[in-house]
A and B are shown apart, each in its own frame.
Chain A
């Protein structure tokens, strides 16, 4: 079985099968680039991902492992409404997978899934974050995401006023 070494930003190496790695759009491209540039077709590709640390990379690979038999979703599927089919059939495994994570880890996972082009993972993580927005007040959202209001003067009040007109019937 052809293998590939995937190295995280902090130097941890993961040895995974190429079949699995190719389920990530980014890794697939990297492997193909490596094949073209390498004379020795037997050589084991080594891909360094400078933006993802080991803990997160491990989670991504773990997710890929679990979902290795799912059909690959094209990256632009359902682009119009931004929804993939993956989130429709979110499995119990996915829920257990995400349950212990705090928001910071989830954010990192979103970044990683986005970078590695793993659409299914991106869908379920974004969905999770979305559920944290729904049903919260503005202040609660800010607290949850550690965001600070950077409105100046009465901008916030103005925005609130505009919102009223948007929903008025």
Chain B
């Protein structure tokens, strides 16, 4: 983090470090005479300005191994890059996107989810004009905690094995996370940057006290989550770095409380993802004043009426850069005009807009919008494997899109089933996904559970 008072830091740095640099400089001139005192630490800002010139992630990660100071600096840099404006989609999502269980604290990552439950003829189009790579692994897996509720096949905690300063016996608490939940978070809360609740029912008071203990939280995922005892006037100190929120398949019964939470933290969010909630918090969503910092919006599968209302009424925040709108096959009767109207209202800063439509529909949208994208050189289209006609060629797609993308070099068709799997739209952890979770948990937590 950059210091607020540069001058002060500068003075401090110089008076502290300069003598050391002199000594170091001498020691460089006399390579052979090395003694312990010569192992000193460089000023942070210098290391920062050197390391920030490195593009290659693998080299940065190597620098992370040099010493604690370098490790901290690299982590801060990566955090800035990865957490600032991209959604910190997490392991909870890997349930939905891949169907394979990944141990929650091991590789939370950014995913782009494309549903496969499409009916014949539906084509998924993915249009990221500025974004080239959305799959980024979370570099800080040991700062993430997942709480899996009672109802799931495996209730309990998934804590990082290396959770800092956590007493050893606290690393496995099971089952009934609810009983000790508040006390545990008082112990570990401030270490966490990412927190996931899956299939958990919890009272508003406990939820508030957990959040208030997790002072460094950056990302919160509420998946199949139920918040009971909604008091719409409850005050809450939101963790001040909390910028990423995902609400996935939440229960209708907690509609009011989720709305309360959204409106409480909306002013500091940069990324918001609402996924498969059959109630969409329409009156909260997308009002300029309420989301002054929102850069990334992802809405998947709202209810039909909510989506129409969203498309018609919402005003997008001026900061919005990435938007994704998606729906499963039920929602296919969404009118193109509505989408166009929505696009026309989205902010000028928008650099990526993803929707889930067929190629024909997409071309219609482009025709109506009369917008030309002079910079786009690459488009990926995700197709359901069974629908791909072997005679199709990327080249013909490219030509059909050229009027709107004059610089287009490649329009590539990717069989979607190859890299994503999307279970039925109903609660994804019921039924078929269960075995993955069991296997995954056993494999990963075998020694702990």
Residues on A lying within 8 angstroms of B by beta carbon are 51, 53, 81-83, 102-105, 107-108, 110-111, 114-115, 122, 126-127, 129-130, 133-134, 137-138, 141-142, 145-151, 155-156, 158-160, 162-163, 165-168
Contact check, A133 vs B14: say whether CB atoms are below 8 A apart: no
Q: Which residues of chain A are within 8 angstroms of B21 by Cβ–Cβ distance?
A: 104, 107-108, 111
Contact check, B45 vs A129: say whether CB atoms are below 8 A apart: no
Contacts A147-B70, A166-B57 supplied; 6 other A-B pairs, CB < 8 Å: A51-B14, A82-B53, A108-B21, A108-B25, A141-B66, A168-B107
With A115-B14, A146-B39, A147-B41: A158-B66 Cβ-Cβ less than 8 Å? no
* Candidates A102, A103, A147, A167; contact of B66 at CB < 8 Å: A147
Which one of B26-34, B124-132, B199-207, B269-277 is at the interface? B26-34
* Docked pose: A165 CA to B106 CA in angstroms: 7
Q: A131's closest neighbor in chain B, by CB? A: B53
Q: Which residues of chain B are within 8 angstroms of A134 by Cβ–Cβ distance?
A: 54, 56, 59
* Candidates A122, A148, A158, A162; contact of B67 at CB < 8 Å: A148
Q: Which residues of chain A are within 8 angstroms of B18 by Cβ–Cβ distance?
A: 51, 111
0/1 interface trace, chain B 36-74, chain A, CB 8 Å (1 if under): 001111110110011111101111011111111111000
0/1 interface trace, chain B 5-34, chain A, CB 8 Å (1 if under): 000001000110110011011111100001
18 A-B residue contacts at CB 8 Å?
A51-B14, A82-B49, A82-B53, A83-B53, A102-B29, A104-B27, A105-B28, A111-B21, A114-B45, A126-B50, A133-B50, A134-B59, A138-B65, A146-B40, A148-B67, A159-B65, A162-B142, A166-B57
Q: Which residues of chain B are within 8 angstroms of A105 by Cβ–Cβ distance?
A: 25, 28
With A82-B52, A138-B66, A147-B66: A107-B46 Cβ-Cβ less than 8 Å? yes
Closest 3 pairs between A and B when the two form their complex, measured CB to CB: A104-B25, A104-B28, A148-B39
Q: Is the interface of A mostly helix, strand, loop or mixed?
A: helix
Say whether B415 faces chain A, with CB atoms less than 8 Å apart.
no
Task: Mark out the residues of chain B between 63 and 119 whose CB falls within 8 Å of any chain A CB in the assembled complex.
Answer: 63-71, 106-107
* Docked pose: A151 CA to B65 CA in angstroms: 9
Q: A98 to nearest B CB, angstroms?
A: 14
* Docked pose: A83 CA to B55 CA in angstroms: 11
Say whether B423 faces chain A, with CB atoms less than 8 Å apart.
no
Q: A165's closest neighbor in chain B, by CB? A: B107
| B contact residues, total (Cβ < 8 Å) | 52
Contact check, B66 vs A126: say whether CB atoms are below 8 A apart: no
* Docked pose: A130 CA to B39 CA in angstroms: 20
Q: Which residues of chain B are within 8 angstroms of A155 by Cβ–Cβ distance?
A: 68
Task: Mark out the residues of chain B between 176 and 193 whose CB falls within 8 Å of any chain A CB in the assembled complex.
Answer: none
* Docked pose: A51 CA to B62 CA in angstroms: 32
* Candidates B10, B24, B67; contact of A149 at CB < 8 Å: B67
Say whether B317 faces chain A, with CB atoms less than 8 Å apart.
no
* Candidates B22, B29, B40, B46; contact of A110 at CB < 8 Å: B46
Residues on B lying within 8 angstroms of A by beta carbon are 10, 14-15, 17-18, 21-22, 24-29, 34, 38-43, 45-46, 49-54, 56-59, 61-71, 106-107, 137-142, 162
* Docked pose: A89 CA to B64 CA in angstroms: 30
* Candidates B28, B58, B70; contact of A167 at CB < 8 Å: B58
* Docked pose: A51 CA to B22 CA in angstroms: 11
Contact check, B106 vs A163: say whether CB atoms are below 8 A apart: no
Q: Which residues of chain A are within 8 angstroms of B45 by Cβ–Cβ distance?
A: 114
Q: Which residues of chain A are within 8 angstroms of B10 by Cβ–Cβ distance?
A: 115
Contact check, B50 vs A130: say whether CB atoms are below 8 A apart: yes
* Docked pose: A166 CA to B71 CA in angstroms: 14
* Docked pose: A53 CA to B18 CA in angstroms: 10
Q: Which residues of chain A are within 8 angstroms of B61 by Cβ–Cβ distance?
A: 163, 166-167
Q: B417 to nearest A CB, angstroms?
A: 18
Q: B39's closest neighbor in chain A, by CB? A: A148
* Docked pose: A129 CA to B63 CA in angstroms: 13
With A111-B43, A114-B46, A126-B49: A141-B137 Cβ-Cβ less than 8 Å? no
